Amino acid sequence: MLEKNIENAIEAILFVAGDAVKIDDIANALEESAVTISSVADKMIEERKKEGRGIEILRIGEKLQLSTSQKYEEYIKKLFMPDNTYVITNAAIETLSIIAYNQPVTRSEIEKVRGVSCTYSLNALLNKGLIYEAGTKDTLGRPKLYKTSDEFLRHFGISNVEELPKLMTEE
């Protein structure tokens, strides 16, 4: 397959996926080696950075993901979050779940579970009052700790987090 076709196929796959996709899975779909996909992806990442594009490709471990450039965050917020109101996305719901079941928890602990940045989700949840900063963790860097709020309990119609459904565990 021509390199330009590989680039276009990677871009299309990442657009439709809407989330991070394993390089090996892309390689299998395109019937190319993972080394080829990785190399083409690195080139795409650099080109987008160099050109200052609005859409960039992120490498997250052995996965790739489309993302908006932080350079244009201000414009995205104006359109999709007027008056500083945030949309609660599926990513924010995932982040909220991690906080609810593991609180108090740091941003890096959340990102370790999710595998992607959760900055937008944390801001959205803080803005909606569903979580709050509950001090700092007594460790290097003193990262902020997050907990669910009373608004979280009201929103989900529960009186305490013990009423949350039990997590399904693998046996």
Contacts of 129 (CB under 8 A, 6+ apart): 149, 151
| Mean pLDDT on 76-100 | 78
Average pLDDT, integer, range 147-152:
89
**pLDDT value at 98 more than 60:** yes
Q: Which residue has the higher pLDDT, 73 or 52?
A: 52
- Of 3.90.220.20, 1.20.1070.10, 1.10.10.10, 1.20.140.10, the CATH number of 81-162 is 1.10.10.10
The pLDDT assigned to 40 comes to: 97
Taking the C-alpha atoms of residue 126 and residue 144, their distance in angstroms, rounded to an integer, is 13
Domain 3-70 in CATH 1.10.10.10? The answer is yes
Supply the pTM of this predicted model.
Answer: 0.50
**The 131-136 sheet, strands edge to edge:** 105-106, 144-148, 131-136
The pLDDT assigned to 31 comes to 96
Q: Please determine whether the domains at 3-70 and 81-162 fall in the same fold group of CATH.
A: yes
pLDDT at residue 13 is higher than 90: yes
